[in-house]
Structure 1
Amino acid sequence: MRNPLGRSLVSRVLTATVAAAVALTMAACGQVQDSSSGAGGGDATTTSVDTLFGAVEVPADPQRVVALGWSDAEAALALGVQPVAVSDWLAFGGKGVGPWAAPLFTGTPTILPTLELNYEQISSLNPDLILNTRSDNSKEKFDELSKIAPTVSAPPGVTIQYGTSWQQQMQQVSAALGKKDEGTKLIAKVDAAFEAARSANPNFAGKTVAVGAFFSDSYGAYVDGDSRVEFMKSLGFVNKPEIQALSKGQSFYEQLAREQVELLSADLTVIFPLGGDATPLKTDPVLNQIPSAQAGHLLIMEDPTLINAFSSGSTLGTKYAIENAVPLIKAKTAA
């Protein structure tokens, strides 16, 4: 059953992060019988992919790909592969991917739930490969999905939920699809776009940044391992140490009490609403009195498409965000 929340799927992930135990309980429902060998036992018709849960043998030429992880579908599309089903993490609607990726679909995929996986529905799609590279890293979910088809999760070493970088995602997906060379080229193109942005804006280097969100009348800040923070770091910024110090090493996001809002003040503050418009941010006297706001260094993102690209963590979405966010960032750091 489709997740009933109608707002951005980012907000659903934040809810799941706060209540991870609930999400794991939800994942346990609808289990299926084992119909796949999962990992191990590779031969000439399979490719081995290293994952957080060990090596997984995937078919050399998968035909029916189910993309469950956050922006996994966009990674597959960038490589010329059209998943038969996708999870719409950012609530795009339509084909379940951003407008920078949707035209690459020639058909309309089945849209699947996100946090509450429907294993029976996934099994009915007869996948020969499941992509789940950016997720909550649940071993229970991995085990259930592996009963259906070989499942490629986050790579080894990713400990933060949804902490797979866009580079790692492309590496995992391209390896699983037998398109490593194409994946390497796509990564190089995005790296080149970041390099061009850094070269054009040398004043970004070493400046502190605080990336925050506003959801359900409360604020939060993103920490290292989150795609938005890594985006800013790729431009030369440094995540504000006082915010990074809040991290417990498991979540990409830390909630802030009202009295902690000033922690968002940095050389540049980037903040956006989740599942709503930016009016509360523009009119909040607490946010607008922090030093970075007073100095003209507060960037409130308003465009939902740009917010989603900034949050996508895919090669396609990241490229769109570089093209459209960097001019806004430049304007707020010029003073």
Structure 2
Amino acid sequence: MKHLLAIAFTALLATATFAQEYPATISHAFGTTTLKAKPVRIASVGWANHEVPLALGIVPVGFARANWGDDDGDGLLPWVSARLSELGADVPALFDEGDGIDFEAVAETNPDVILAAYSGITRADYDTLSRIAPVIAYPEAAWTTTWREMIHQNAAGIGMATEGDALVADLEAQIATAVAKHPELSGKRGMFVTHLDLRDLSTIGFYAAADQRVQFLEDLGMSTPQAVKEASEAGKYSGRVSAERVDMFDDVDVVVTYGDQARMDELAKNPLIARFPAVARNAVVLLANDPMGTAANPTPLSIPYVLDDYLTLLSQAATRDTQ
């Protein structure tokens, strides 16, 4: 599905007039941020926070360069490039976050607000950024913000809370329409395994129940296995268990992970990994370092861009029988 936003939502933004009263105060993990007036110059750090203003028709003055899934190396994911083209906008400043936040680059954009609702910023990062401009941090814990919360939090931070609500509703409607075409996924239990290291298969890493990759599987009609819920620590987006305990995941119907088939074939040779029922059935969705792999971590613009394709992959894994 290569469209970005539903026509109905685009029309809504074109005709509606919304107002957010100021001063506006937004709560987050580090306290509260008060905005005295509607921000005009918007910057963002962390993952995909810039997609909220872009989806709402606002071009940020700067945001983080894509460091995963960027096929052509231009620092932009394809749905971001497409949206900038739709808005007739040039590429703004791109912050290189390979070694952490580039505070100087952020400051050079002279922002009125800095969006970081989905990020891993620390208290020290927050304090430094706050000396540049008011910061909209994550609601509770690092990297556990859902795509809905990302939209609500960042939209409020740019004075477009009502439009953010409409964007969430539109995306939910698109998801519901697409999921209805795949009843075979209903009730299937999906586990998202982190990158498995061929050099050390003594443990199995997984994204926890609070991670939005896992919650996106629930959006797509699946459920989170009880074993994953029990192994997830509060406030943590990932976990790890001994491979000797792989039998605890015998209630997993589909595994989603990063890698290719050759790598999975090597993993399956490991006697412990081979005991993983979903792996034994080859009920696995393999994601590469490409836009599809990136979009498994859902964002406002990526959801409609890859929704149908991702559902197809999940459906194929859920119904796969190697015997």
Same fold (TM over 0.5): yes
Find the counterpart in structure 1 of residue 78 from structure 2: 99
- Paired residues for 1:253-292 under 5 Å: 253-260=238-245, 266-273=252-259, 277-284=260-267, 285-286=269-270, 287=273, 290-292=276-278
What is the aligned partner in structure 2 of residue 21 from structure 1?
A: none
Distance 1:127 1:215 in 2: 40
Contact 2:50 2:60 in 1 (8 A): yes
TM-superposed deviation, 1:190? 1.5
Please report how far the alpha carbon of residue 78 of structure 1 lies from its aligned counterpart in structure 2 after TM superposition: 0.7
State the Cα distance separating 1:240 from its structure 2 match. Answer: 1.6
Q: Report the CA distance between 1:198 and its aligned residue.
A: 3.4
Task: Please point out which of 117, 121, 125 is paired with 1:141.
Answer: 125
1:302 Cα deviation from its structure 2 partner: 3.8
Q: Secondary structure at the match of 2:40?
A: coil
- 1:125 aligns with 109
Helix, strand or coil at the partner of 1:221: strand
User: In the TM superposition, what is the alpha-carbon distance from 1:294 to its structure 2 partner?
Assistant: 3.1
- Cα pair 1:74 1:97 within 8 Å, conserved: no
Deviation at 1:52, TM superposition (A): 2.3
Deviations 1:240-281, CA, capped at 9 Å, x for gaps: 2222222222321123444455555511111213xxx55312
- Asked if structure 1 preserves the Cα contact closer than 8 Å seen for 2:116 and 2:137, the reply is yes
CA contact (8 A) 2:188 2:318 kept: no
The structure 1 residue matched to 2:44, chosen from 52, 55, 67, is: 67
Change (3 A) 1:264 1:308: farther
Deviates more, 1:316-325 or 1:198-207: 198-207
The answer as to whether partners of 1:262 and 1:290 remain within 8 angstroms in 2 is yes
Cα offset, 1:293, TM superposition: 3.0
Partner of 2:186: 205
Structural RMSD (CA):
2.6
Distance in 2 of aligned mates of 1:131 and 1:303: 25
- 1:288 Cα offset (Å): 5.4
Q: TM-score by structure 1 length?
A: 0.76
Asked if 2 retains the 8 angstrom alpha-carbon contact of 1:211 and 1:264, the reply is: no
Q: Percent identity?
A: 23
For the 8 Å contact 2:227–2:249, the answer to whether it is kept is no
Structure 1 contact 73–97 (Cα < 8 Å) conserved:
no
- In structure 1, what is the equivalent of residue 137 of structure 2? 153
1:248 matched to which residue of 2? 233
Q: Tell me, yes or no, if structure 1 residue 116 matches structure 2 residue 100.
A: yes
Q: Provide the aligned length of Structure 1 versus Structure 2.
A: 286
Q: 1:51 to 1:305 in 2, by over 3 A?
A: same
Assess, with a 3 A threshold, how the Cα gap between structure 1 residues 292 and 179 changes in structure 2: closer, same or farther.
same
Cα contact 2:116–2:138 (8 A) shared by 1: yes
Whether the aligned pair in 2 keeps the contact of 1:278 and 1:302 (CA below 8 Å) is no
Q: Where do 5+ consecutive residues of structure 2 fail to align?
A: 1-19
Match of 2:61 in 1: 84
Partner of 1:225: 210
What is the TM-score when the length of structure 2 is the normalising length?
Answer: 0.79
Contact 2:209 2:228 in 1 (8 A): no
Aligned to 2:176: 195
Mapped to 1, the partners of 2:138 and 2:160 lie a distance apart of 17
Runs of 5+ consecutive residues of structure 1 not aligned to the other structure: 1-42
Opposite residue 107 of structure 1, the aligned amino acid is D
- Does 2:298 align with 1:299? no
